[in-house]
Amino acid sequence: MDSLEVRLGYKFRNPLLLAEALTHPSLAYESQKAHFDNQRLEFLGDAVLQLALTEHLFRMFPDFPEGPMTKLRAQLVSRQALAQFASSLELGKYLLLGKGEEASGGRKRSSTLADAFEALVGAIYLDSGYTSARDLVLHLFEQEIDTISENPEDGNPKGALQEILQAIATEAPTYRITSESGPDHRKVFHAQVLWQDLILAQGRGKSKKEAEVRAAIEALRKKVWLTAEAS
């Protein structure tokens, strides 16, 4: 299992938890003997996964209502998405399966892979706590989270900001990239959003678009235009 731990970037203190996470129920069913399987860890891991991503989305989109955040989370934790994460870890080749499940292609079955991925998260939670499990989840989901932050499918911070401001005046907000830093392969862009001579907020991101979206999100949170109106 060492190579899987290398892929995860995590070393289990209790290797039995890893073995349990990788044991499919078909193994005990075929042997007709008492044997642990990953179903209980799958149940636990699902809850940990949901909490880690819910917490992250809650902080990432401070002005989004419940509905859009729920849809974004569902997009991240769909069975297909979890199966893809499992495939990227080559989780299938480490699974302990019954002969029938093996013969029927269980190592590549999406539902089996998704269940094993959730069980793995649950095992890490039991092995070293929530923080370790959350950090692993956010690391594995980093690319998908970046995609959402740049273009939330069910939330459009730039559009929402423009709609609010143009209800006050016809002028639309504008965005300006103020600086960029870091090496070419890890650029960080800094953006400002401006409206009627006001700097509404700033944001930063791995692309110009992400920096602008972050600035819009921050502007929606701060609502600087309300203070300007009052004065």
Residues with a known catalytic role: 46, 118
Could you give the CA distance from residue 46 to residue 67 in angstroms, rounded to a whole number? 20
Q: Which residues contact 18 (CB under 8 A, 6 or more apart)?
A: 1, 4, 5, 12, 120, 123
Contacts 24+ apart (CB under 8 A), 123-126: 123/12, 123/17, 123/18, 123/20, 123/21, 123/41, 123/45, 124/10, 124/12, 124/17, 125/44, 125/45, 125/48, 126/14, 126/17, 126/41, 126/44
Could you give the CA distance from residue 85 to residue 83 in angstroms, rounded to a whole number? 5
